[in-house]
Structure 1
């Protein structure tokens, strides 16, 4: 599938690859604009693209520049999203607003998946998914990623959802939304900073070829949902699980004491965890992302056949 619409531009390298049926891997940009500090964000962006190219795959970093949704950002555009001071976070609902107001934006998992699918890209990598927030039974706070992934047939590699979220409730919502979740060489759902969140996964795959076959079966059935590949961080590189649990409990208590609620909760908790771990959580974040980019590139090659 490839859909052209006003306010969308596809990079030349990405367009050539799509026309030739060559493998392409979509990469989100909120990790760059909002998830990592400068100048580390730009270095990670360029390293990730180089990592994908070295695997024989064309990278398509996706973002919004001056209101235009760009699938395959140029290096100067990536630098702009990494360094400009007024970059907004763009989910699917924000795309028309960003277009009309000519804003720069980092695209979330939801917006990146939407734009990737619209242009014919079939595989995407990210760090962690959005999900159901703790206390959502009262606040109804749930990431737009879930609803978008329920109607966007892409293969998405992540390390689960961040442990600051309600992982059990997120898995229940994924089941309700008919979004298949499979572990990559594991039957345990990862918790982003840790390899095992404590929740099981019913199904697993062992290879990129298995992921490609699963996507093909989904397509043959005419199903609309994404296929989620849960790829845990290497256990040797995870945060120590006991240390992780203690810091997370402290972060949640601090948020409660400060009266932090709604969309302010996630950045507060992530910043608390980063400070409390002396930056270790940031390094794990990068290990997670590199691993997901590597696996996503392998799956993109398998999907392209």
Structure 2
């Protein structure tokens, strides 16, 4: 894993960092709109007081934080592959250019010590999943990786009610950022589903994440941000386009990872570009909110390790660990356990036990 010097320094100093996915660059938007959008998202994060960390795979390495040259390569590549969590190892071995999905971006961000991630919309339960069992790996990752995903809800081409139910079953925190507790529908501000709760204060999200961490809860958090009213698409127009695109995907036997890119591209064609403009607007809005959230989570004070004292003992001075030391330890631990692929033979199990005691 290669972490850029800017991201590494920001993490070491306890400054806000926002992870950005790269599938939107490789598969979500056409060139050159994808490149200009990637640059715009990074600038939105910077303007909000945090540091952007676009994640992608190049030449057998995971990159966290890209320079402009790599953004250009990513945006213009004709052979880039879509990389979910299961595809990370394969893409590294084959040294392919890879755009990371929500699932793989969460996994890598957590391993790098980044807890806030901005995207457009998460994957979910596909329509007709009762027959196809097509459910996005994003949902599984959200159920086991403690990262806050700032998004505009579930992509409206999916089955939103079933996705919300799935998230509830798997204990994923699901919060709407706004005045109403109505789960957004990606292109439009409202769906027929509700979230866990809603808030207009990012401080509530910071407290939610810190409390979850203190309790040892491993679940992710969704901060669902309705697209600003002036950019919201005409719901009826979008829905008709989606229905037609979904039917075409079925007729053409398009399945698995190819479904979402096909439908989004087709919806953009059917709406004569209106859906792409809306998509870019919500991406930029989410990046700004994520930047503010990450900045609020920044705590430059030393981290005090709490201790429990008995009434008969003399309290000892708490051990103080710097943010940099804590990050370096968490990175080593996360990378070891998240990306280790060697079988756990008896000798290795003993080694891991010793590592945990360090």
TM-score normalised by length of structure 1 = 0.94
Aligned match of 1:159 in 136, 152, 176?
152
Q: How far, CA to CA, are the matches of 1:206 and 1:139 in structure 2?
A: 38
Question: Aligned partners of 2:144, 2:138: CA distance in 1, in Å?
Answer: 10
Matched with 1:82 is 75
Change (3 A) 1:262 1:9: closer
Q: Residue 166 of structure 2 aligns with which residue?
A: 173
SS at 2:79's partner residue? coil
| Aligned-pair CA distance for 1:251 | 2.4
Match for residue 7 of structure 2?
14
Cα distance in structure 2, aligned partners of 1:56 and 1:253: 43
1:300 corresponds, among 290, 294, 300, to 294
Q: What CA distance in whole angstroms lies between the structure 2 residues aligned with 1:244 and 1:282?
A: 11
**1:259 deviation in Å?**
4.1
Asked if 1:273 is matched to 2:267, the reply is: yes
Other structure's SS at 1:60 match? strand
Which structure has the bigger radius of gyration?
A: 2
User: 1:197 corresponds to which residue?
Assistant: 191
Q: Aligned-pair distance for 1:249?
A: 2.4
Please state whether the residue corresponding to 1:78 is helix, strand or coil.
helix
How much has 1:296 moved relative to structure 2? 0.2
1:135 aligned residue:
128
Match of 1:53 among 13, 22, 46: 46
Distance 1:39 1:62 in 2: 19
In structure 2, C-alpha distance between the alignment counterparts of 1:61 and 1:15, rounded to whole Å: 13
Cα contact 2:56–2:62 (8 A) shared by 1: yes
2:230 is aligned with 1:236: yes
1:165/1:155 CA distance change after superposition, 3 Å: same
Matches of 1:142 and 1:264, distance apart in 2: 13
**Is structure 2 residue 142 aligned with structure 1 residue 149?**
yes
Q: Distance in 2 between matches of 1:27 and 1:174?
A: 22
Q: Does 1:103 align with 2:96?
A: yes
Q: Quote how far apart the aligned CAs of 1:189 are.
A: 0.6
Deviation per residue, 1:59-109 (Å, 9 max, x gap):
101100112101111211111111111111111111111111111101111
Instruction: Give 1:211-230 correspondences, 5 Å limit.
Output: 211-230=205-224
Instruction: Flag structure 2 segments of 5+ consecutive residues without an equivalent.
Output: 300-358
Cross-structure match for 1:68: 61
Matched, 1:44 2:42: no
Q: How far did residue 245 of structure 1 move?
A: 2.2
Decide whether the 8 Å contact of 2:119 with 2:287 is kept in 1: yes
Cα–Cα, structure 1 residues 220 and 113, in superposed 2: closer, same or farther, change >3 Å? same
Aligned residues, how many?
298
- Separation in 2, partners of 1:239, 1:214: 31
Tell me, yes or no, if the aligned pair for 2:22 and 2:99 is still in contact at 8 Å. Answer: yes
3-state SS of the aligned residue for 1:298? Answer: helix
Q: CA deviation at 1:263?
A: 3.5
Q: Distance in 1 between matches of 2:294 and 2:270?
A: 37
Task: Tell me the alpha carbon deviations over residues 206-252 of structure 1, each in whole angstroms, 9 at most, x when there is no partner.
Answer: 12111111111111111001111000101221111122222222223
> After the TM superposition, which of the residue ranges 192-201 and 22-31 deviates more from structure 2?
192-201
Q: Aligned-pair distance for 1:198?
A: 1.9
Structure 1: state its 5+ residue gaps: 1-7
Corresponding residue for 1:4?
none
- The alignment's TM-score, normalised by the length of structure 2, stands at 0.81
